[in-house]
Structure 1
Amino acid sequence: MVSKVVGQSARKIVSLLEKFPKDRIKHNATFRTSQIERFCNIGGVAIPKDVTEEKDKQLQAKNGTLKINTDKIKKVIYSKKEEKPANYQKDIFTEDILTQQYKSLKNIYESKWEKYYKIDKKLLVPKGNPNYYHRLMTDLNKGGQVKEGLFTAFKTILTGKY
């Protein structure tokens, strides 16, 4: 059974994770949703509705690209083995471990290390290819969905510069 302190710590972590921005590029799994689901299970908290909807979308996208049904394969492989109880990992997490997790996630959320270790302009705009970082960031901001035009693609191939 989950103690009250562990449950409260897990709730704090889940509330912090809900503040994290959604990923701009769609993946099969995102850090935010996987961690919210993980800490909800640890703390005995109900998984938020938006997280379950996002997970369903991820599963649909994943199933659209995969032809093999992995659930059936897992059932065949793991049905013969002894299954672990649903709460087997809950005993691992103590109050100290969860407070460390909370501090780490808070540092990531507040961009503590980004502010502490500032990136120099020489890295952002290298002399050999000054447009590289700018093009990379514009592509990421568009979510990786917009494709390069035909003319710019040929220009990139011929000149070798981004």
Structure 2
Amino acid sequence: EYRTEDENLRKLLKEFETKLKNNNSFDFKNLKMYLEEIQSDFNDLVDTKDKCMHKGQEICAKSRNENEIKEIESEQIDLNEQLDLLRDRLNDRKNEINEILMNVQKFFNLQENHLKCVREKEDFLAKPLNLSTLQQVKDCCYQYSLEMKSFQNATN
């Protein structure tokens, strides 16, 4: 039973590693869901590993065969190392995805600000000009200058 569980765990570890490596196409809408899914899969792996470790420790406690004990202990060390490596890769992947999500959000915020600014300028430009006096021309020139400066500041 221990051997079967050990083999199954190793198979699950390889599948998880493949899942981490192969999902390089980012659909921004589904990134959070993917992140939750791989975290859940990893937690399942940890649970399976813990059960396998417990069974291995029981066998070692009951066994008098030193070779069997050394083999099981070696397998458990190997499984722990593999899981630690996958944990590191998972953390790297989570950081990568979080950075992508953060930058996408920054982009959308910037885009929203630009669109708002453009709408404001369109509204300003849609107003009819009434230039019948020199003072009105100066005021209009000043207003246009202010609007251009605010637009330049918003786009920088």
Whose helix fraction is larger, Structure 1's or Structure 2's?
A: 2
Do they fold alike, i.e. is TM over 0.5? no
TM-score, normalised via structure 2 length: 0.29
TM-score, normalised via structure 1 length: 0.28
| Structure exhibiting the larger radius of gyration computed from Cα positions | 2
